């Protein structure tokens, strides 16, 4: 039995059409900044945008096959290819405007879109304002989700919207319908973005920097408009604002909705938020007690790691000189990540807690009388054993990918400890580094890095389904 046929391909192509159009339109927005600063790069934004729009229009005219019904596999393949397409179109812009190679441009684009925040530019301060804005805008869009942003405007309510929403690893519903949920999420996102821009500006940050940095931080992306990242500003108020924005970005939108709409104790009552704050506090105290690092530096990196933002106030070289135990804790935090239903990458707190609860359930049943059944409970809600198994399977896949990438980095001669840190950072869409690995990556490792960031953002399964489909299409008969 064939996993995918011609009819499936037609459904995927037709549903990618509106998304390609949306991606093209998004790439036109930085032209406004280009015109304001008279940088004369408008055509370099316009050309890739038109390619995406034209190809998208062609896709929308294709027949949808014998049925127009979209299944989850169609949505996952559509989502996977859409993220890749957005990375390619964005990469074309970086290639045309700056001096990056084609591969480096694709890496930079995927890094921004997935919120990984790893840059291949050795000096970002010489880049045009339009490119700096575009990188920030990519992170802002990617933080919420390319599909989520586009279906809020271009897709009609119905099963297709539901499947596409789920394909970006989103399950929380603020409202009964998918479209209504997305609209509420975007409202919350805009509110916090506005608060961030105003707060940074009042703290003394230039308006342009405030906009780009807010895009980067609230989306837990981490790319800054300065080479020294947030550390450039040398301002404790700006550091504090950044820490708050990172935590807000790593908290589920459902929790934000309850806080804003119902004025309840949603933060205090949310299990994932409590775990995140506890991990931040414990990790900060542990590193402080075992090192001579300045407290604000510790807190900033701890928050940046668990929220998978990757923003920093110290250089990667300075961080590389931290005690091994401090770096180890940072790696653990980068693996865990923040809340589900937020903008973060990594494993996510709910999945880790569910997995640990499953281990506890199995262990307790072993030492209990025969026939005893121990339920899995989180926040007084019972979860099926199947959920714990799914969490375990995902974590196993996640670590397999990490070990593969880590081994290849070591094969190319990179330091094993730095390579592990860098691999966890890429896979979790974090962006922190110790050392300068990103500036010395070989081309095959850059391609592997693109795959890691892509897989990490879409949570593996959509990519596996897409690869399975491609293998079937091109396999020998």
Q: Please write the tens of the pLDDT for every residue from 212-247.
A: 999 999 999 999 999 999 999 999 999 999 999 999
Which strand (E) or helix (H) includes residue 324? Answer: helix 324-336
Q: What percent of the chain has pLDDT over 90?
A: 63
pLDDT at 370: 67
| C-alpha to C-alpha distance for 434 and 319, rounded to whole angstroms | 6
The packing angle between helices 295-306 and 271-289, to 10°, is 140
Q: Note whether 434 and 301 are within 8 A (CB).
A: no
pLDDT band at 175 (very low <50, low <70, confident <90, very high): low
Answer with the residue of higher pLDDT: 423 or 265: 423
**For residues 313-318, average pLDDT:** 91
% helix, strand, coil for the chain, step of 5? 70, 0, 30
Is residue 81 classed as helix, strand or coil in its secondary structure?
A: helix
pLDDT of 477 higher than 50: no
| C-alpha to C-alpha distance for 355 and 376, rounded to whole angstroms | 10
pLDDT of 6 higher than 90: no
What residues are paired with 381 via a beta bridge? 378
Question: For residue 56, how many other CB atoms are within 10 A of its CB?
Answer: 21
Rounded (5°) CA angle 44-457-385: 165
pLDDT at 302: 97
pLDDT at 66: 46
Q: What percent of the chain has pLDDT over 70?
A: 88
pLDDT of 310 higher than 90: yes
The packing angle between helices 6-26 and 72-97, to 10°, is 40
Q: Note whether 328 and 417 are within 8 A (CB).
A: no
pLDDT at 57: 94
Rounded (5°) CA angle 438-52-103: 20
**For residues 88-97, average pLDDT:** 97
pLDDT at 202: 97
| C-alpha to C-alpha distance for 453 and 460, rounded to whole angstroms | 10
Which strand (E) or helix (H) includes residue 136? Answer: helix 129-144
pLDDT of 179 higher than 90: no
| C-alpha to C-alpha distance for 110 and 119, rounded to whole angstroms | 10
**Structure letter (DSSP) for residue 309:** -
Q: Please write the tens of the pLDDT for every residue from 383-436.
A: 777 888 889 999 999 999 999 999 999 999 999 999 999 999 999 999 999 988
| C-alpha to C-alpha distance for 221 and 2, rounded to whole angstroms | 39
Q: Note whether 259 and 178 are within 8 A (CB).
A: no
Instruction: Say which range, 23-27, 179-183, 310-314, 326-330, has the weakest mean pLDDT.
Output: 179-183
Of 389, 388, 397, the closest CA to residue 463 belongs to 397
**For residues 294-304, average pLDDT:** 96
Q: Please write the tens of the pLDDT for every residue from 116-163.
A: 999 999 999 999 999 999 999 999 999 888 767 666 555 555 555 665
pLDDT of 73 higher than 70: yes
Q: Is the dihedral of CA 336, 172, 256, 312 positive or negative?
A: positive
Can you give the pTM of this predicted structure?
0.92
Is residue 378 classed as helix, strand or coil in its secondary structure?
A: strand
Look-up: residue for tokens 């198994």?
A: 389
pLDDT at 207: 97
Q: Please write the tens of the pLDDT for every residue from 340-388.
A: 888 898 999 999 999 998 888 878 777 777 666 667 777 767 777 788 8
pLDDT of 40 higher than 90: yes
Q: Note whether 459 and 120 are within 8 A (CB).
A: no
Look-up: residue for tokens 């879109």?
A: 113
Of 212, 226, 272, the closest CA to residue 247 belongs to 272
Instruction: Say which range, 46-55, 56-65, 338-347, has the weakest mean pLDDT.
Output: 56-65
Answer with the residue of higher pLDDT: 168 or 72: 72
pLDDT band at 330 (very low <50, low <70, confident <90, very high): very high
pLDDT of 476 higher than 50: no
| C-alpha to C-alpha distance for 396 and 402, rounded to whole angstroms | 10
């Amino acid at each position: 039995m064939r996993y995918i046929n011609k009819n499936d391909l037609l459904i995927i192509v037709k549903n990618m059409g509106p998304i390609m159009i949306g991606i093209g339109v998004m790439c036109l927005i930085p032209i406004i900044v280009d015109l304001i600063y008279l940088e004369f790069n408008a055509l370099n934004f316009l050309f890739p945008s038109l390619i995406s729009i034209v190809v998208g229009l062609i896709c929308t005219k294709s027949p949808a096959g014998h049925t127009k019904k979209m299944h989850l596999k169609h949505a996952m393949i559509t989502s996977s290819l859409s993220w890749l397409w957005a990375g390619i179109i964005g990469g074309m812009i970086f290639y045309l405007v700056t001096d990056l190679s084609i591969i480096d441009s694709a890496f930079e684009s995927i890094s921004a879109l997935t919120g990984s925040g790893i840059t291949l530019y050795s000096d970002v301060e010489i880049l045009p304002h339009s490119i700096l804005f575009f990188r920030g805008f990519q992170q802002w869009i990617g933080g919420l989700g390319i599909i989520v942003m586009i279906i809020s405007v271009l897709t009609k309510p119905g099963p297709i919207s539901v499947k596409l929403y789920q394909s970006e690893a989103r399950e929380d519903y603020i409202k009964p319908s998918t479209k209504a949920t997305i609209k509420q999420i975007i409202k919350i996102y805009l509110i916090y973005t506005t608060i961030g821009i105003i707060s940074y500006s009042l703290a003394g940050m230039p308006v342009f920097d405030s906009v780009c940095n807010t895009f980067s931080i609230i989306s837990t992306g981490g790319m800054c408009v300065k080479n020294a990242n947030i550390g450039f500003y040398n301002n404790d108020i700006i550091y504090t604002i950044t820490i708050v924005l990172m935590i807000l970005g790593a908290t589920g939108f459902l929790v934000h909705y309850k806080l804003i709409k119902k004025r309840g104790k949603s933060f205090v009552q949310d299990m994932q938020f409590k775990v995140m704050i506890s991990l931040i506090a414990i990790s900060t105290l542990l590193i402080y007690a075992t090192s001579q690092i300045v407290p604000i530096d510790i807190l900033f990196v701890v928050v940046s790691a668990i929220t998978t933002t990757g923003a920093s106030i110290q250089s990667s070289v300075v961080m590389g000189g931290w005690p091994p135990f401090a770096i180890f804790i940072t790696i653990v935090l980068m693996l865990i990540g923040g809340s589900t239903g937020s903008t973060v990458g990594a494993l996510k707190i709910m999945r880790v807690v569910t997995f640990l609860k499953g281990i506890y359930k199995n262990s307790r049943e072993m030492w209990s009388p025969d026939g005893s059944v121990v339920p899995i409970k989180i926040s007084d809600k019972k979860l099926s054993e199947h959920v714990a198994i799914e969490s375990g399977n995902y974590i196993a896949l996640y670590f397999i990918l990490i070990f593969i990438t880590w081994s290849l980095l070591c094969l190319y001669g990179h330091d094993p400890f730095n390579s592990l840190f860098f691999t966890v950072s890429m896979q979790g869409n974090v962006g922190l580094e110790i050392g300068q690995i990103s500036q010395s990556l070989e081309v095959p490792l850059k391609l592997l890095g693109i795959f890691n960031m892509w897989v990490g953002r879409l949570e593996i399964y959509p990519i596996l389904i897409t690869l399975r489909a491609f293998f079937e299409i091109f396999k020998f008969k």
